[in-house]
């Protein structure tokens, strides 16, 4: 009695106890991963669109976010959010670049 296995199933005598079944586990799909990447790019783009020197980085990240997000925006809510952030950041970075070049040139 002292050396009993605490995981042994007493009712059936089966000591191959599996607490989780593969069918009950939530599996992460590739659209979730791609949506996260698009969202991160959109956040980087929107933050860097406020600076003159980083607005080019924001423009590039925004364009990548739009291109990648356009294919997965219907599958993932994070992909849709990244797509929208990409559009807003491209518009903001473009306006900032035009205004900055008009002032300094």
Q: In this predicted structure, what is the pLDDT of residue 27? A: 56
DSSP 42-84: HHHHHHHTTSTTTHHHHHHHHHHHHHHHHHHTTT-HHHHHHHH
Q: In this predicted structure, what is the pLDDT of residue 95? A: 92
Q: In this predicted structure, what is the pLDDT of residue 76? A: 83
pTM of the model: 0.67
| Length of the chain measured in residues | 105
pLDDT per position in the chain (105 positions), as tens? 566 655 555 555 555 655 665 555 555 556 678 889 999 999 999 999 888 788 889 899 999 999 999 988 888 888 899 999 999 999 999 998 899 889 988
Q: Which residues are within 8 A (CB) of 40 and not within 5 positions of it... i.e. 6 or more apart?
A: 82
């Amino acid at each position: 009695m002292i050396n009993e296995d605490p995981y042994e199933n007493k009712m059936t005598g089966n000591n191959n106890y599996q607490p989780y079944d593969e069918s009950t586990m939530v599996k992460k799909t590739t659209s979730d991963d791609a949506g996260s990447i698009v969202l991160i790019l959109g956040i980087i783009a929107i933050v860097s669109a406020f600076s003159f020197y980083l607005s080019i980085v924001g423009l590039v990240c925004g364009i990548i976010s739009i291109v990648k997000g356009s294919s997965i925006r219907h599958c993932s809510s994070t992909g849709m959010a990244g797509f929208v952030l990409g559009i807003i950041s491209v518009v903001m970075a473009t306006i900032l670049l035009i205004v900055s070049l008009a002032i300094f040139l």
